[in-house]
Structure 1
Amino acid sequence: MSKIHIYCSIVAIVFAGCKSTPKEKSTIVENITEKPSCCENIPDRFATNKQAKNDEMAWIEGGTFSMGGDDTQARDDEFPKHEVTVSGFYMDVHEVTNAQFLAFTDATGYITEAERKPDWEEIKKQLPPGTPKPDDSVLAPASLTFFAPNHPVNLNNNAAWWAWTLGANWRHPQGPDSSIEKKMNFPVVHVSWNDVMAYCKWAGKRLPTEAEWEFAARGGLIDKVYPWGNENIDTGKIKANSWQGQFPNINDEKDGFYTAAPVKTFPPNGYGLYDMAGNVWEWCSDTYHYDYYKTIKGASVNPKGPETSYDPNEPGVFKKVTRGGSFLCNSAYCSGYRVAARMKSSVDTGMEHTGFRCVKDK
């Protein structure tokens, strides 16, 4: 899902990326080389926060593990499993909260991408030539919010539960009438990859690589499906914030939450990390490429991901990896709370179920 996908729907243009399948990739588009991020030229006021400390961070010793899918729900882009070694690092024990992000914006005056008017000149570069410009009422500050239809829907059409909502942003997660006033300990959402890179620079931290994230999520367990082992997420005690019931129209809320939950609500994994499954998706530093794992030869040490981006569903859109699943994940649709599960999004896209956590070198 990306802003481009939404604009594609708005202007009623059906282009190759909206219908492509993995088998079609060789005839659709060349792989996209990594483009410069707006965060490569972050102003001086976003320089490292000298007060950043290692409190609320866990030391992850590092080691060697087998990275990739462990069960029948694993997707093609999670294979083959391959040996990876990562060095030790500190990781936030929970997702970055609204309170933490507020401290950042108060200190720097930073304005997130969801709070800015979209740049049509940048957007149309990723659309087919001749795509008409949407009405100015659409090109306004907005973000993607979840809405529950009142009936079962085709799960292949994610537009059936996502809305381009004017006025939605990290301060107003469900739209202009919502607020984070009483949600300071909830994970910040509606933050793009570009936004979180600015936060990381200010905090004196960085985003985890995809390999670091998966190693940490496994919590010391070997070849297990979830951070807690192999027991199904809906079996036994509540383990994480996910969607219980019929997605996307009926949520039984057995975990106590319809959308996001406060950080540290559910038990941590073996490394003392909370919400490595469910709650909100988390940005990683790696560029996303559907076939990346298939290109890896032999063991990898501290891999940084591919140099090019490719998503067969939106082949013209440059994307970064997200990990961990969210409150919307359900086994019938998205088992993203598995430790090996991979998702992706364009660098300028914020959504109601996407946040992040940081890491820091020793």
Structure 2
Amino acid sequence: MNETGCCGPTPAVDAKAREDRAPAMSSAPGRPADLELISLTGGDFFMGSDAGEGEPADGEGPARPVWLSPFRIARTAVTNRQFADFVEDTGYVTYAEEVGSSFVFAGLLPDDFPPTRGLLDAPWWRETPGACWRRPEGTGSDWRRRGDHPVVHVSWRDALAFCRWADLRLPTEAQWEYAARGGLEGRRYPWGDDLTPGGEHLCNVWQGRFPAHNDCADGYAGTAPADAYPPNGFGLHNACGNVWEWCADRFSVTHPSGPLRDPAGPAVGERRVIRGGSYLCHESYCFRFRVAARSANLPDATAGHMGFRCAAEALQDSPARDPSRKDTP
């Protein structure tokens, strides 16, 4: 593994070496019965932000007009139970299982965990033998104790394999942000600008002083159930915090001049976009759990805070949510 910043370790292997790796597939597409897609009308919205709250290298701005065709997106991130259905049907082996380890936040490991390699710039990430979607914290942990939590330790390619099995796809970055905003524009979070309006916690992020002490005031030290906390205006749960979510797009910090219609990101580039932040985000260190915030990683990167959400094309004559927007950027 290479050393990297706060949003997760990156693999040292050449990503292109695995580009043609295809999962074993059953004869027909499968899909967990509880994977619910929400139909959205699309239309115009302002993507990104001019607020200057993010890192310049993340390329959040400028706020730019985007027009989207109707599409569907999952109500929640893919859960452990749903991913288990996929593996049982196909025999798929994830990248973390293939290499025999992944990275886990040190605060989730037992006190007697043997010393292993951490990251130079982020020592709270510990390489953990056996860590994968089945065993989120390595030996002794089990996904079955958190079947309704988002699956983690999945690479972009693993997420893509699940989507192909389910006859779905990953959302574009523009679709992800439009859906995450829930009909509000120019707001920091899916519900407004205050992190805890009226003292209520509406997402799973770090409270306290990162990385030494987490107050867990939101109720969780690690992942929360995929449908924890109230949904946004479009019915999506946990668009901020909990786990990073892979998008289809390659990453770039420059954006074409608008207005843009159904943008799908640049045609070249190694890294893929991740959105939404995770349970490790804190305003003092990684303020990337805002709806405009973004980051990226290589397609084979895995860690204990990286998952995904599925999307699909609109159904013909499907009713879709079309709330009126009350806010402007």
TM-score (structure 1 length as normaliser): 0.76
**Equivalent-residue separation in structure 1 for 2:198 and 2:26 (angstroms):** 45
**Equivalent-residue separation in structure 2 for 1:90 and 1:247 (angstroms):** 36
The reply on whether 1:111 has 2:73 as its aligned counterpart is no
The reply on whether 1:344 has 2:296 as its aligned counterpart is yes
AA matched with 2:237: Y
Q: Which residue of 1 aligns with 2:326?
A: none
The reply on whether 1:277 has 2:240 as its aligned counterpart is yes
Deviation at 1:307, TM superposition (A): 1.9
Partner SS for 1:106: helix
AA matched with 1:348: D
Partner SS for 1:355: strand
Q: 1:87 aligns with which of 51, 56, 69?
A: 69
Q: Which residue of 1 aligns with 2:321?
A: none
Deviation at 1:48, TM superposition (A): 5.2
Kept after mapping to 1: 8 A contact 2:195/2:202: no
Relative distance call for 1:44 and 1:166 in structure 2 (3 A) is: closer
Kept after mapping to 1: 8 A contact 2:23/2:92: no
The reply on whether 1:268 has 2:268 as its aligned counterpart is no
Relative distance call for 1:70 and 1:254 in structure 2 (3 A) is: farther
Mapping for residues 279-294 of structure 1, pairs under 5 Å:
279-289=242-252, 291-293=253-255
Higher-helix-fraction structure: 1
Partner SS for 2:213: coil
Mapping for residues 1-362 of structure 1, pairs under 5 Å:
3-5=1-3, 38=18, 40=20, 42=22, 45=25, 49-50=29-30, 56-76=36-56, 77-117=59-99, 141-148=100-107, 158-233=121-196, 236-289=199-252, 291-293=253-255, 296-309=256-269, 318-362=270-314
**Equivalent-residue separation in structure 2 for 1:143 and 1:306 (angstroms):** 29
**Equivalent-residue separation in structure 2 for 1:46 and 1:234 (angstroms):** 47
AA matched with 2:141: S
Deviation at 1:70, TM superposition (A): 4.7
Q: Which residue of 2 aligns with 1:17?
A: none
**Equivalent-residue separation in structure 2 for 1:259 and 1:193 (angstroms):** 21
Cα RMSD for the two superposed structures = 2.4
Partner SS for 2:162: helix
Q: Which residue of 2 aligns with 1:29?
A: none
Relative distance call for 1:72 and 1:298 in structure 2 (3 A) is: closer
Relative distance call for 1:40 and 1:332 in structure 2 (3 A) is: same
Relative distance call for 1:165 and 1:43 in structure 2 (3 A) is: closer
Kept after mapping to 1: 8 A contact 2:23/2:161: no
AA matched with 1:88: P
Partner SS for 1:145: strand
Deviation at 1:51, TM superposition (A): 5.0
**Equivalent-residue separation in structure 2 for 1:207 and 1:191 (angstroms):** 13
Relative distance call for 1:319 and 1:48 in structure 2 (3 A) is: farther
Kept after mapping to 2: 8 A contact 1:320/1:346: yes
Kept after mapping to 1: 8 A contact 2:3/2:120: no
Aligned length: 294
Kept after mapping to 1: 8 A contact 2:46/2:65: yes
Partner SS for 1:5: coil
Which 10-residue stretch deviates more, 48-57 or 262-271? Answer: 48-57
**Equivalent-residue separation in structure 1 for 2:38 and 2:224 (angstroms):** 21
Kept after mapping to 2: 8 A contact 1:68/1:80: yes
Relative distance call for 1:43 and 1:325 in structure 2 (3 A) is: closer
Relative distance call for 1:46 and 1:210 in structure 2 (3 A) is: farther
**Equivalent-residue separation in structure 2 for 1:46 and 1:144 (angstroms):** 30
Partner SS for 1:337: coil
1:59-92: CA deviation from partner (whole Å, max 9, x where unpaired): 1110111111253412321111111111111111
TM-score (structure 2 length as normaliser): 0.83
AA matched with 1:292: T
**Equivalent-residue separation in structure 1 for 2:219 and 2:240 (angstroms):** 16
Partner SS for 2:143: coil
**Structure 1 unmatched ranges of 5 or more:** 7-34, 118-140, 151-155, 310-317
**Equivalent-residue separation in structure 1 for 2:125 and 2:260 (angstroms):** 37
Q: Which residue of 2 aligns with 1:138?
A: none
Deviation at 1:298, TM superposition (A): 2.2
Kept after mapping to 2: 8 A contact 1:48/1:204: no
